[in-house]
Every structure is written in structure tokens, then in C-alpha cells.
């Protein structure tokens, strides 16, 4: 008896539905006159910020047209548009009040047979926050994409939604600006309105720049801002012949704090340590930063290796005595700048000194040789 040959499952793309108010939605999008316009730095900056905050290779401002999705701004994609029938974003606009998150597209029946999943760009993770017009109708999404299954942290999701609102405001400001330009010769009031909108946009963009350089939990500089500060400090120290050191600070047994007391208590400890480090480092941007997780970094300009180590000893003692409500200690690795050394080498030595402090029993300072 012959063995039956299995019949391969026919792949079928589940097409997105069409919103009940599609005619009005499309008319709203057309009124913005943004489809097929050239790239603009303001939108490009937003997708760059989204990719950095969410740690993804692809970020896109997508508009859903009649039969296509068109990209106003994109990072990590070569194409300018795609078919609406296969667009994740066409699904996302069906629930315009929610951010759609697909943790693993291969396990989602809507997308597992999608050519964007089974071919380039091999989408696994997708998160899309709808771009809403002033009448509440969705024009598209601000989305981030990865080729590996994952999720967004709460602060990353909040940032994506904030960036989506900013992109929507930018589109609205441009729409209003376009209308104002048509009437500016007849009415001087419109000229004042245009100036007001431009000033508002500049202020919002300045706020976004600040957000992209700041850790949302502790209010300290983030890794990106610290990297810029270290590069500038190394240039200055090399030029002026002055000493420079950095310190890497790690909370001892932080996982135990989260496991025993909960993540909310862990966040409170991070905030308390961030405030103490900020007070110790002074107000200058980039001198102290949250580098990731429970790890912080300090920029110690003008200090020799011995002076930097002593400063960190005082800091270690201050952390142990701080009224955090929990027994919190830190381990610290310190490295002083060598001639010709770059930021990568300097940080690597400080990090190695930190791990030596951990091996030696934690709650101590170690100076890199």
C-alpha cells in the first residue's frame, strides 16, 4: 500500500478589512496633501528617534492610501511604498484608538502567510501607533519593526505613541501652513498664525530632542547623550593635557530586589540612585547617565585615577547610607584616560574593573590598571 503524499497547505494572505468610514477617512488624508511629497528632515528625525528608543532596525511613518501604503519617512527600508493588502498598518488603522503590537508575526494567523513575513524584510515584530487627524480618523501609523520576535517595554510604547502624536501634529501644522500660505497676501492675521505654528513646532521638536537624550525613568542622560559627552571630554583632555576618568556603577544584586519586592520597588531604587548620582555629579549634561538596566556611568573630568577612585569611594559610602528603605550597595569600576585612548577603550577598562569589583565580593571600588 503506497504512502499518501501530503498536500502542502495553501498559503493565503488575510487581507485587512476596510474601515466603515473609509470614504471620509480617505478624503481626510487627501486634504493633508502629503502623499508623494519629498522627504523632510523633521519626519526623518522622528523615525530615527523611534528606532533608537525602541532599539529596532526599521521605523516608518506610513500613510494608507486607496490601494497602497506610502512611506513619508522610513529608516531601514529601501522601498517607498507597498501594497495595502499586505500592509500591517492597514490592519492597525481598524482600531485607531489602540497601538497594535504583533510580538511574533509567524504565530499570528493574520500575518504568518504574509510575504513581508516570509520574505524581505522578514517581519517578526511590529508595533504601530495610529496617526490621527484632528477629526480622529486614522491616516496611517507610526510603526517600528524588527526581524526577531520581541515586545516593547512600557516606556518604549509610551515614547512610540508620543512620537506618533508628534508626527500627526506636524502633518496638521503643515496642512494649516499650506492653507495660510494661500491667504497670507490678503490677511496679515494669517501671517501671525503661521509664525505661531512654526514656533510651536520648533518648541515641540526641541522637546523631542531633549527626550531622545534622556532616560525616562530617572531623568538622567541616556547612553546616547553620555557617548557624546565622553567624546567631547576626551578631545578636551587631549587638547589641554588634563586628566579624565570614567566610572561604571552597578547596583549589587538588583535582580533580587525586583524578585523579592517587585519591579515598582526596583524602579524606585533606580530613581533614588539616579537622584543621588545627579546631585554628586552636578548639573552639566552628560556627566552622569543611566547606561542600561541597573548600570550607571560617571564622567570625572579633571580627576586623576587616584582622585577618581577616592571620589567613587565616597559615592559608594553615600549609597550605602542613603535612606532608600532597602539595603542597597553598589560596585564601581574606574578607569583613567590613557594617551591615545578612545571612548571605547576607556569604557572597556572601566567595565573590566567593575567586574573585578564584583568578583572581589561587591560593594567596593576597583581601579583599572
- Tell how many helices (H) and how many strands (E) occur in the chain: 11, 11
Residue 338 CA to chain centroid, in angstroms?
Answer: 32
- Whether residue 142 is preceded by a cis peptide bond, meaning omega within 30 degrees of 0, is no
* pLDDT value of position 286: 44
Given the residues 294, 295, 317, 341, select the one marked as catalytic: 294
The Cα 99–Cα 96 span in angstroms is: 8
Residues in contact with 360: Cβ distance below 8 Å, sequence separation at least 6, in sequence order: 366
Same domain flag for 276 and 151:
no
CA-to-CA distance for 319 and 274, rounded, in angstroms?
Answer: 11
> Could you give the angle at the alpha carbon of 96 between the alpha carbons of 93 and 99, nearest 5°?
90
SS3 333: strand
pLDDT above 70 covers a percentage of the chain that reads 88
Q: Is 11 part of a structural domain of the chain?
A: no
| Structural domain total, the chain | 2
pLDDT at 128: 97
What cell was used for 272? Answer: 533614588
Q: Check whether 195 has a pLDDT greater than 80.
A: no
pLDDT tens column, 337-367 = 999 999 999 999 999 999 999 999 999 999 9
Predicted confidence (pLDDT) per residue in 43-62, tens digit: 999 999 999 999 999 999 99
Whether the predicted pLDDT of 24 surpasses 50: yes
Tell me: pLDDT of 280 over 80.
Answer: no
- At residue 284, the pLDDT reads 40
| pLDDT over 60 (residue 8) | no
Asked whether 94 and 16 are in contact (CB, 8 A), the reply is yes
- pLDDT at 259 > cutoff 60: yes
CA-CA distance, 88 to 102, in Å (whole number)?
9
Kindly state whether residues 361 and 248 are assigned to the same domain: yes
pLDDT in tens, 157-169: 999 999 999 999 9
pLDDT given at position 202: 64
Per-residue pLDDT band for 205 (boundaries 50, 70, 90) equals low
Q: Write out the three cell numbers for 207.
A: 522637546
Tell me whether residue 161 is one of the annotated catalytic residues. no
Q: What is the pLDDT of residue 283?
A: 41
Domain that includes residue 317, residue range: 223-367
CA distance 254 to 290: 14
Whether 113 is covered by a domain: the verdict is: yes
Helix (H) or strand (E) holding 189: helix 188-212
State residue 182 phi and psi, 5-degree precision.
-70, -20
> Exposed (0-12), middle (13-18) or buried (19+): which is 206, by Cβ within 10 Å?
exposed
Percent of the chain with pLDDT over 90: 68
Cα–Cα distance, 307 to 221 (Å, whole number): 24
Name the nearest CA neighbour of 144 among 135, 153, 133, 132.
153
Q: Which three cell numbers stand for residue 201?
A: 513646532
Q: What is the pLDDT of residue 208?
A: 53
- CATH number of the domain that 132 lies in? 3.30.450.40
* pLDDT bracket for residue 191 (50, 70, 90): low
Q: What is the largest CA-CA distance in the chain?
A: 90
Say if residue 234 is in the same domain as residue 321: yes
What is this structure's pTM?
Answer: 0.51
Count CB neighbours of 40 within 10 A.
14
Query: 17 in a domain, yes or no?
Result: no
- Confidence bin at 201 (pLDDT 50/70/90): low
Q: Is the pLDDT of residue 136 over 80?
A: yes
For residue 333, count other CB atoms closer than 10 A to its CB: 26
* Residue-by-residue DSSP string for 98-167: S-EEES-GGG-TTTTT-HHHHSTT---EEEEEEEE-TTS-EEEEEEEEESS-----HHHHHHHHHHHHHH
Chain-wide mean pLDDT for the chain?
88
Supply the pLDDT for residue 92: 95
- Residue 230 and residue 204 in one domain: no
Rounded Cα distance between 203 and 191, Å, is: 19
Which of 165, 185, 212 is the endpoint of a domain?
212
Q: Round to whole Å and give the CA distance between 84 and 94.
A: 13
Query: Which of 192, 212, 232 is the C-terminal boundary of a domain?
Result: 212
Among 139-148, 197-206, 245-254, 311-320, where is mean pLDDT lowest?
Answer: 197-206
The CATH number that applies at residue 353 is 3.30.70.270
Name the residue among 231, 249, 220 with its Cα closest to residue 337: 231
CA 332/CA 104 separation, integer angstroms:
38
The answer to whether residues 342 and 237 touch, using CB atoms and an 8 Å cutoff, is no
**Predicted pLDDT of residue 213:** 67
Which of 212, 231, 261 is the endpoint of a domain? Answer: 212
228 and 267 together in one domain: yes
Could you tell me the sign of the dihedral formed by the alpha carbons of 294, 295, 301, 304, in that order?
positive
36 pLDDT band, cuts 50/70/90, is: very high
Amino acid at each position: 500500500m503506497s504512502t499518501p503524499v501530503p498536500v502542502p497547505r495553501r498559503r493565503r494572505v488575510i487581507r485587512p478589512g476596510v474601515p466603515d468610514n473609509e470614504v471620509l477617512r480617505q478624503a481626510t488624508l487627501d486634504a493633508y496633501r502629503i502623499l508623494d511629497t519629498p522627504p523632510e528632515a523633521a519626519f526623518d528625525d522622528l523615525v530615527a528617534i523611534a528606532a533608537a528608543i525602541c532599539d529596532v532596525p526599521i521605523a516608518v511613518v506610513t500613510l494608507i492610501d486607496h490601494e497602497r501604503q506610502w512611506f513619508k519617512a522610513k529608516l531601514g527600508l529601501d522601498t517607498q511604498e507597498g501594497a495595502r493588502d499586505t500592509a500591517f498598518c492597514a490592519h492597525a488603522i481598524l482600531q485607531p484608538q489602540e497601538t497594535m503590537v504583533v510580538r511574533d508575526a509567524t504565530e499570528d494567523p493574520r500575518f504568518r502567510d504574509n510575504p513581508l513575513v516570509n520574505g524581505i524584510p522578514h517581519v517578526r515584530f511590529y508595533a504601530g501607533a495610529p496617526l490621527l487627524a484632528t477629526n480622529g480618523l486614522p491616516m496611517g501609523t507610526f510603526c517600528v519593526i524588527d526581524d526577531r520576535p520581541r515586545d516593547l517595554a512600557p516606556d518604549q510604547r509610551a515614547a512610540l505613541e508620543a512620537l506618533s502624536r508628534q508626527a500627526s501634529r506636524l502633518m496638521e501644522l503643515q496642512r494649516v501652513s499650506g492653507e495660510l500660505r494661500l491667504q497670507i497676501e490678503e490677511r496679515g492675521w494669517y501671517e501671525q498664525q503661521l509664525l505661531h505654528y512654526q514656533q510651536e513646532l520648533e518648541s515641540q521638536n526641541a522637546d523631542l530632542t531633549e527626550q531622545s537624550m534622556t532616560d525616562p525613568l530617572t531623568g538622567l542622560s541616556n547612553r546616547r547623550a553620555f557617548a557624546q559627552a565622553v567624546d567631547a571630554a576626551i578631545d578636551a583632555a587631549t587638547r589641554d593635557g588634563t586628566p579624565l576618568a570614567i566610572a561604571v556603577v552597578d547596583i549589587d544584586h538588583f535582580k533580587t530586589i525586583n524578585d523579592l519586592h517587585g519591579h515598582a520597588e526596583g524602579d524606585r531604587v533606580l530613581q533614588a540612585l539616579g537622584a543621588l548620582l545627579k546631585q554628586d555629579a552636578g548639573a552639566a549634561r552628560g556627566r552622569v547617565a543611566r547606561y542600561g538596566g541597573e548600570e550607571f556611568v560617571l564622567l570625572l573630568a579633571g580627576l586623576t585615577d587616584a582622585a577618581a577612585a577616592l571620589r567613587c569611594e565616597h559615592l559608594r559610602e553615600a549609597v550605602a547610607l542613603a535612606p532608600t528603605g532597602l539595603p542597597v550597595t553598589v560596585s564601581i569600576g574606574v578607569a583613567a584616560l590613557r594617551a591615545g585612548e578612545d571612548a571605547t577603550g576607556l569604557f572597556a577598562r572601566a567595565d573590566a574593573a567593575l567586574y573585578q569589583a564584583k568578583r572581589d565580593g561587591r560593594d567596593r571600588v576597583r581601579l583599572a590598571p
